[in-house]
Amino acid sequence: MEKKTAGARRRSALLALAALGVAALCLALGAGLGLAAPAVAIDVCLALALLGALAYAAAESGLAARYSSATLVAAQLTGAFLVLAWLSYRAGDTPLPIALLYLVAMCYGVLHLERKALAVLAIFALVTHGTALFMLIDHGGRLGLPTAGLQLAALLLAFAWLIYAGGAVLRLRARLAAARSRLHDFEREANERAGRDALTGVYHQQHLMDVLEREIARAERIGKPLSVARVDLDWLALLNEAHGQIAGDVALRRFTAAATEALRDVDVLGRYGGKEFIAIMPDTDVKGAVIAAERLRAAVAREPIPEVGGRRHLSCTLGVAEHRKGENTRLFIGRAEAGLNYAKAAGRDRVVALDAGGKPLLIEAA
């Protein structure tokens, strides 16, 4: 997020430099056409270059990060208007290109500021420009009051139109932002659906492995425990044989609903294949994982199913393992599977975590 914000501020600074470049180009053309004295054009171009360099330096140094984008743009325009007022006074009786420079500066503001801020800046520009013109008249310039008034009136009308256009631009930007947000939500929802098993609604194997790899990297980085449980839904094949695949699908959905409800919000349950599932439990050591697995097993055992072999409720068998530093995903899951196989051999419908010697850990519930 910080990188995106820094990039946005850098782009804003570059846009400001582009606007100043356009203003400098207008001055150069004005000087070439005899509308402004070359010495004045050079002085103002230097002033604009200094203003642009300050804006870019503030963006690159991080100083601009302390202020909002609107505040920075308003400060840039304030500086630009002061430079233009000084140019109006220096230009003497050939002020024609200056009005165009004011419009270039305001167009830059239209892209970033709300109407109220634009109106305040427009008033500031009119006051400073008018002050420069009247100072020029007071010092014996050939510019008359009617001409000065006409210039101010023309700028006022141009600013009024730009402020109105700025409102339309902001509404358009708001609509584009809303559309982009909806598109992002649709994309996230599509990715979420693509990562889930169609029958049970939990994550499928590939997405589950991606999550597990990220959690392993996170656990290694911050030094927190991480545990997984390999879960096997018991007697699903017998249920399919006795009552058909539809009954088996119902059992899978009931199992995942009960298991998800028993886990924490931060835990991740996914289908590893067929009737096998994996529960990823971040920030959980083996003792906490066994307790959570027992809670899951008990929740599943309360789910009713059509009677199969004398059983009227679902049951599941779980093998639990805690991640060891430097251990890869395959070995991690393999140790949980070893606990699962031990639990199956012991009669199913239980939770087993094995120690380093391959013997079951005896963990009492808290």
Per-residue confidence (pLDDT) for residue 2, from 0 to 100: 43
Say how far apart CA 35 and CA 39 lie, in whole Å: 12
Say how far apart CA 27 and CA 42 lie, in whole Å: 8
Say if CB 274 and CB 249 are below 8 A apart: no
Q: Which residues pair with 124 in a beta bridge?
A: none
Per-residue confidence (pLDDT) for residue 152, from 0 to 100: 79
Say how far apart CA 209 and CA 270 lie, in whole Å: 9
- Please provide the distance, in angstroms rounded to a whole number, between the alpha carbons at the two ends of the chain: 41
For 259-299, write each residue's pLDDT tens digit: 999 999 999 999 998 899 999 999 999 999 999 999 999 99
Say if CB 266 and CB 283 are below 8 A apart: yes
Per-residue confidence (pLDDT) for residue 167, from 0 to 100: 74
Amino acid (1-letter code) at residue 119: A
Amino acid (1-letter code) at residue 256: T
> Quick one: how many helices (H) and strands (E) in the chain?
11, 7
Tell me the pairing of strands 226-233 and 316-322: antiparallel
Ramachandran quadrant class, 309 (left: phi over 0; alpha: psi -120 to 50; beta: rest) = left
Say how far apart CA 144 and CA 56 lie, in whole Å: 39
Which pTM value belongs to this model?
Answer: 0.52
Query: Buried (b) or exposed (e) across 177-186, using 16+ Cβ within 10 A?
Result: eeeeeeeeee
Say how far apart CA 284 and CA 320 lie, in whole Å: 11
Say how far apart CA 147 and CA 8 lie, in whole Å: 42
Rounded to the nearest 10°, the torsion over CA 291, 296, 297, 302 is: 130
Q: Taking the domains of the chain in order of start, what are their residue ranges?
A: 2-187, 205-353
205-353 CATH choice from 3.40.50.261, 3.30.70.270, 3.30.870.10, 3.30.499.10: 3.30.70.270
Say how far apart CA 210 and CA 217 lie, in whole Å: 11
For 150-197, write each residue's pLDDT tens digit: 777 877 887 888 888 777 777 787 788 788 878 777 766 655 566 688
Per-residue confidence (pLDDT) for residue 140, from 0 to 100: 66
Counting as low any pLDDT under 50, the low residues of the chain are 1-4, 95-96, 365-366
Per-residue confidence (pLDDT) for residue 114, from 0 to 100: 80
